[in-house]
A and B are shown apart, each in its own frame.
Chain A
Amino acid sequence: MQLLTGNDLKSGAVIWWTGRGWSRHVEDAVDVGDQGEAILAAEDGARRVNGGYIITAENTPDGPRPSHIKDRIRALGPTVRPDLTLKPADPAAGDWVI
């Protein structure tokens, strides 16, 4: 599947395209098929996303899992600071990245 991601213009936070807007959580991301570039162009113009790009991901029962480790780290947070990730209470969250 193809996902759209980037960083929120104002906060810099990692965001994912949900089909209707942007979410901090990769679980909310949807497959954009071949519409990625068009959506990015519109969203860049709307000043909601910075540095947006298209990635490939695997569709799993727990939601999309980006193919590349860099995007999995972006989705969760730094592996060396579990307390600063999006799932600080889940000690196994880092396993999803590696």
Chain B
Amino acid sequence: MYKYDQYDQAMVDARVEEFRDQTRRRIAGEMNDDQFKPLRLKNGLYLQLHAYMLRVAIPYGTLNSSQLRKLAEIARKYDRGYGHFTTRQNLQYHWIKLEEAPDILAELATVEMHAIQTSGESIRNISADQYAGAAADEICDPRPWAELLRQATTFHPEFSYLPRKFKIAVISSAADRAALRWHDCALRIVRNDKGEEGFEVYAGGGMGRTPFIAYKIRDFCPASQIFSYIQAILRVWNHHARRDNIHKQRMKILVHDLGEEEFRRQVEEEFQHFLTLGTDFPQAEYDRIAAHFAPPPFETGLADEIDRADPDFAIWVDQQVIAHKAPGYAIANISLKPIGGIGGDITAEQMEIVAGLAERYSFDDVRVTHAQNLVLPHVRKVDLYAVWEALRDAGLADANLDLVTDVIACPGLDYCTLANARSIPVAQKIQQRFADLDRQRDLGELKIKISGCINACGHHHAGHIGILGVDRKGTENYQLLLGGSGAEDTTQAKITGPGFDEDGVVDAVERAIECYRSHRTEGERFLDTYRRVGFDAFKEAIYG
């Protein structure tokens, strides 16, 4: 993974001291909250329901064991012994004290981490495929490009006061594991007819109050010109954006107001201008960054078989283990969705156990997924049993990847000041309703995503089944949506009808699932059946 050079470290260290001084001035009364709030947000520090919340950036979801151990240490020393992985592949602490925040940032800086641009009107943490560098189906590792873009856009003056937040994702496979088209700007690495690498470019996606799926605005942008193209996109948005109306500031609004063709035309015009400026990445700089992401020294001649004698282990392998590009290796997914637990939460002790496993079995590499799980990306197949035993003993061996209990849920009204309704209790009740693993496996891939407000941090627009919590005259109410996807077959979920109370929405989910069971044909997922049978049949099943 990328290692800071002296410039990176100097910038992050200086930022810590700058924030330490800003915090001192706020506590001393030299600044009021209106003055301090934008400064703390630029360092990922929010004020939530019960305390301050610190969002730590995990670039493209990649961690090493030292970083994960530091996150555990911070959880124990400054928080309440746990952290929460988010749908942006970041980690949040929910019980932070303002007076200790600078010390936490200083501790993060010792392991090349920070919270810069995890909030505010900036280019947020750039996300990527969690299996980057390991997936059997990828063209190349997308993370060098994510890292180049991270470096080029961090503290960039033109992008430091954007109209609104801006989210970028980078992948390099046909399968989309990063919800590509739900981003403001998304890149898929492809090869053209000449075998040259470049990017499909998507723009104008986003969830929230006004969901849009991104358009593909370019079939192929040469890799050597991608920064010009992204700057062109940002400049067109920056030029036109409705800074007078917070609900119309996101780029997706502009793209869809201008229309696909006109937005593309203007971007292409700006692109031609940027090409004359010489701001693209020199090959030597790409090579320097890419060297940090060189494949680990995979052993050769390893056995490719997995001993499945233990039936519980065999189930875990079937559900959690994914094909790796290197013979004899596998990708091991770690569920953070225990039945009745809190999705994405992980204790300090569990972080340390995962860090140890990564160090011993996965070339010191851990990944965070946007579905709020973890990944050990490079495990020898002969080591999988030992890994599973350790995970089982740590309460981390649930075998529910992409099943009905692998629910994405935002923190909701239990923690978040923006939320209208609680998300986590609904997720827990759904998990308990479908706890039987045989039933889960019979239902197959079924992605439920829950948000506690229209900001959609729980990705409800992209759920096969989505749930949106709303406030109806002071009580929690839940709208049910069907048919969304964040994968390569991206679609936006559709609201089914009147909302439900907490127990009612769990019953409604079960009725939708029973509708699927009664209509499915061999091999059909929930989403496939929904698309074939249609909305009305499901609505009839839900509302009668």
Contact = CB atoms under 8 A, between A and B. Distances in A.
B425 A9 contact: no
B50 A69 contact: no
The 6 closest A-B pairs by CB, nearest first: A12-B51, A78-B414, A12-B52, A80-B424, A10-B99, A47-B29
Interface string A1-37: 0000001011111100000000000000000000000
B465 to A, nearest CB: 21
Given A11-B97, A14-B49, A50-B47, A84 B80 contact: yes
Interface residues of A, number: 23
A51 B475 CA distance: 23
A44 B50 contact: no
Given A10-B99, A11-B98, 14 more contacts: A9-B26, A10-B27, A12-B98, A44-B32, A47-B29, A51-B33, A68-B474, A69-B474, A69-B476, A70-B413, A74-B49, A79-B425, A80-B422, A80-B425
B50 A78 contact: yes
Interface in B68-100: 80, 95-99
Given A51-B47, A78-B415, A12 B32 contact: no
Interface string B405-449: 000000001110101001011001000000000000000000000
15 contacts: A12-B50, A12-B95, A12-B97, A13-B51, A47-B27, A51-B33, A51-B47, A70-B49, A73-B49, A74-B50, A78-B50, A78-B415, A79-B414, A80-B425, A84-B95
B357 interface: no
Given A9-B27, A12-B52, A80 B414 contact: yes
Nearest to B414: A78
Interface in B32-49: 32-33, 47-49
Contacts of A84: 80, 95
Interface of A: 7, 9-14, 44, 47, 50-51, 67-70, 73-74, 77-81, 84
Contacts of B476: 69
Contacts, number: 69
Interface in B377-429: 413-415, 417, 419, 422, 424-425, 428
B47 A12 contact: yes
A10 B428 CA distance: 33
A11 B51 contact: yes
Contacts of A44: 32-33
B189 interface: no
A79 B96 CA distance: 19
Contacts of A79: 414, 422, 425
Pick the most buried of A9, A12, A70, A84: most chain B CB atoms within 10 A of its CB.
A12
Contacts of B33: 44, 50-51
A69 B475 contact: yes
Contacts of B49: 14, 70, 73-74, 78
